[in-house]
Amino acid sequence: MTRIVFHFFSGHKVTDTQTGLRAFSSALLPELLALPGERYEYEMTVLAHLSAKGVYPVEIPIQTIYIDGNRSSSFQPLRDSMRIYFVLLRFFASSLISAGLDLVFFTFAFWLTHNVLTAMIAGRLSSLVNFALNRKLVFHSHRSVASTLWRYYLLAILLAAISYGGIRGLSEGFGWNVVLTKILVESVLFLLSFSAQRLLVFGSDQRG
């Protein structure tokens, strides 16, 4: 599951995210030493940090040998898994922050106007925050603002239209609560949006 989640966020497939058997260029060591964390979460922090820079590992297959069913492993399934996934959430928190702002703006505007379209427009004000954070902190794009901004908002308009249709259709057709319907629709579109931004908006610069 961790491999799938990491592939979704980074766009790069890693066979083993927790191998611990890695060799790094000496040029990378100063910045890697400055990264926070230890144990298994540090492994994920390093992978997330390097993937954002467009630096991906080259994997060399080796034989894996477990002695006594790997009884000597220090991995604590629940605690260490929570730490690993917290790294991913922290590293890609810009989308979560923007989604929270969007929901607040949408809810407030809908409460005032009872109009889904007006509330959608108000909610999309959060896109300015999302664009700035994704460009600098998540995807580390070096392209000009103008060259990525039009792609970003073209995607945003398309997704907003899909979201509007979904919210109107489910809330009016089935009588669902508008705010809860928005949360459901936007949760699905979040996955699509993140992947599309990585591949189509900022992707060309990620890999240098």
What are 20-77's pLDDT values in tens digits?
788 888 888 888 888 777 776 788 778 877 877 777 788 888 887 766 665 555 555 6
For the chain, what percentages of helix, strand and coil (3-state, to nearest 5) are there?
A: 70, 0, 30
Integer Rg of the chain from CA: 20
pTM (2 d.p.): 0.56
Dihedral sign (CA 139, 143, 146, 151):
negative
Q: Which residue has the higher pLDDT, 57 or 163?
A: 163
Read off the pLDDT of residues 74-131 as tens digits, 9 standing for 90 and up: 555 666 566 666 666 665 676 777 778 888 888 888 899 988 888 888 888 878 777 8
